[in-house]
């Protein structure tokens, strides 16, 4: 099952941002600006900073100043690795790289990504916009894994072989449910906990131990010994 690389709808992002505001800790504002675009292909909101290029195109496509991202906080800037660009907005960011395109990251997913040092960290650049799951959660796919959020669990990363096993079991709609933790260092390996179980990766064997509702079950993605 491959996740669609579709960008989030205006209503989806609004719900995510509203939840972030309601649950606390995320600064939210509702600027009432009119978009201004001049002959140099710059888009700004009122007298604020302007965005340009592919980031501007994405911003305009999702509604510009009237979108749930709000107004630009600063102009388009290069990323520290020199490979991409980004712009921050009132309620999120847009990141762009030539081979990946421009994508929106916001809310609690953006906060977790920030804790991993943005695109410079192990998650890398975003590969899609924040997307709604079938049951009302949200996710972003990154180069180095995925971040999933739900009201019940919060935002957590899933990476590598653990992510592959979780995907083989149906992602959040499967028997494990949403991730309940990020990666945890445990003796001999790494474990991720889910709503209904856990997946542990062994450094020695590179095998997986899968527990669902208290029962050990065979891995779907690694050879059994």
Whether the CB-CB separation of 140 and 161 falls below 8 Å is answered with no
Please report the pLDDT score of residue 224 as a whole number.
62
Asked whether residue 14 carries a pLDDT value surpassing 70, the answer given is no
Please report the pLDDT score of residue 136 as a whole number.
94
Please report the pLDDT score of residue 77 as a whole number.
98
Asked whether residue 86 carries a pLDDT value surpassing 60, the answer given is yes
Find the mean pLDDT for residues 200-225. Answer: 93
Please report the pLDDT score of residue 44 as a whole number.
87
pTM of the model: 0.81
Question: How far is it, in rounded angstroms, from Cα 70 to Cα 22?
Answer: 17
Digit-coded pLDDT (tens) for 173-182: 999 999 999 9
Q: Average pLDDT of the chain?
A: 86
Digit-coded pLDDT (tens) for 142-183: 999 999 999 999 999 999 999 999 999 999 999 999 999 999
Q: Which long-range contacts (CB under 8 A, 24 or more apart) does 140-146 make?
A: 140/103, 140/105, 140/109, 140/113, 141/3, 141/5, 142/113, 143/100, 146/3
Question: How far is it, in rounded angstroms, from Cα 222 to Cα 225?
Answer: 10
């Amino acid at each position: 099952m491959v996740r669609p690389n579709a960008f989030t709808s205006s209503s989806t992002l609004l719900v995510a941002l509203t939840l972030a505001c309601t649950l606390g800790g995320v600064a939210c504002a509702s600027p009432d600006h009119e978009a201004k675009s001049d002959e140099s292909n710059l888009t700004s909101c009122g007298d604020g900073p302007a965005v340009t290029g592919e980031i501007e195109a994405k911003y305009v496509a999702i509604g510009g100043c009237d979108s749930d991202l709000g107004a630009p906080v600063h102009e388009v800037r290069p990323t520290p690795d020199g490979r991409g660009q980004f712009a921050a907005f009132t309620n999120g960011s847009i990141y762009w790289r030539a081979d990946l395109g421009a994508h929106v990251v916001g809310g609690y997913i953006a906060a977790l990504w920030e804790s991993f040092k943005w695109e410079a960290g192990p998650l890398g650049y975003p590969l899609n916009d924040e997307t709604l799951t079938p049951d009302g959660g949200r996710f972003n796919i990154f180069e180095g894994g995925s971040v999933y959020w739900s009201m019940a669990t919060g935002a957590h990363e899933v990476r590598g072989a653990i992510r592959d096993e979780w995907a083989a079991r149906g992602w959040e709609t499967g028997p494990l449910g949403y991730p309940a933790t990020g990666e945890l260092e445990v003796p001999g390996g790494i474990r991720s906990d889910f709503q209904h179980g856990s997946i542990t990766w062994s450094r020695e064997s590179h095998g997986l131990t899968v527990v669902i509702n208290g029962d050990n079950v065979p891995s779907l993605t690694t050879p059994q010994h």
